[in-house]
Amino acid sequence: MDIPLENKDDWQEVHNYVKAMNGAIEQLKQLPLSTRLLKQAHYRLTHRVRGMDKMPGEYRTSQNWIGGATLKDAVFIPPHHEEVSAQMGDLENFLHNGEIEVPHLVKIAIAHYQFETIHPFLDGNGRIGRLMITLYLVDKGLLAKPTLYLSDYFERNKGLYYDNLTLVRTSDNLTQWLKFFLVAVIETSKKGILAFQRILELKEIIEGKKIVTLGRKVGKAKELMNLLYKTPFVSAADVMQGLKVTAPTANGLIRDFVRLGILNEVTGMKRNRMFKFTEYLRLFSDKN
């Protein structure tokens, strides 16, 4: 059965976000958190989704705005495009300036505000701005894995999120923004602990009761599970690459996982199909 186009866009964006995050974290082993790294992450984020026709991986070369139909009635107008590169360079220097003695959470909160104010890309600024938070915390050793997902909190409190960013711009009220940001970290961390407990329970069910029925395929099935915990949206090509197996083996494993209720096909297409680790993603839903 096919699914509405907007839902296809949703899962493709999630798939891209996961790939952009994993790719950027891998790059942190060789590159600092930098404008170069953020541009590459932006390119991955906007592949085949909204924004793919708006200079993916490159800073804007025209004026953009937030809210309103035109510049005249815009809620906020970011800096002129000719200033973007220099301002992003300043932001990169701020992130790596060891002489600024503030806690890392305060520093990245300020950096996130500054990034959203610069709005350096034509599209996808919100996604990259949130991804930058996690990358910074991983880079500084505060997170071993990208386990702090602030996007959900910001989305559920979208009005407060924008109001507090606006207060900094209009009233120099940085304190209120910092309070909002730190509460977001606290609440998301609490939710993350609960999610991890449920992940362990799910892992026990899947690996202890389901894939043990696959006989000789159990070894590769466990490898696929490890891939799915990192990338909960996969195609046959992803499985081939991740497990270094042939197409028939990858497709056979996917069929087994669909039969066992671990994966669900989400595109409704016969080719280029994507599969979703549904129960795993559901654990991160606000409904749990």
List, for residues 199-222, the tens digit of each pLDDT value: 999 999 999 999 999 999 999 999
What is the average per-residue pLDDT within 97-105?
94
Q: pLDDT, tens digit, for every residue of 222-255?
A: 999 999 998 899 999 999 999 999 999 999 999 9
Helix, coil or strand: residue 26? helix
Please give the domain boundaries of the chain with CATH numbers for all domains.
Answer: 5-148 (1.10.3290.10), 190-282 (1.10.10.10)
DSSP annotation of 31: S
> Between 286 and 70, whose confidence is greater?
70
User: Over the stretch 32-46, which tens digit does the pLDDT of each residue have?
Assistant: 999 999 999 999 998
Mean pLDDT of the chain: 90
When pLDDT is averaged across residues 177-184 and rounded to a whole number, the result is: 98
Q: Distance (Å, rounded) from C-alpha 251 to C-alpha 178?
A: 48
Give the pLDDT score at 164: 96
Distance, CA of 110 to CA of 55 (rounded, Å): 26
With a pLDDT cut of 70, the percent of the chain lying above it is 94
Q: Are 18 and 277 in contact (CB under 8 A)?
A: no
At residue 41, the pLDDT reads 95
Please state the pTM of the whole predicted model.
0.80
For residue 268, name the pLDDT band (cuts at 50, 70, 90): confident
The predicted structure's pLDDT at residue 19 = 86
Q: According to the model, what pLDDT value does residue 8 have?
A: 52
Distances in whole angstroms, Cα of residue 91 to Cα of each of 108, 110, 116, 137: 10, 10, 11, 16
Burial 52-63 (b: 16+ CB within 10 A, else e): eeebbbebbeee
Q: For residue 192, what are the CA distances in angstroms to 146, 184, 188, 197?
A: 11, 12, 6, 9
For the stretch 51-87, pLDDT in tens is 677 899 999 999 999 988 888 899 899 999 999 999 9
């799910």: which residue's tokens? 202
Residue 163 is predicted with a pLDDT of 95
Which residue would you say has higher pLDDT here, 44 or 287? 44
Contacts of 162 (CB under 8 A, 6+ apart): none
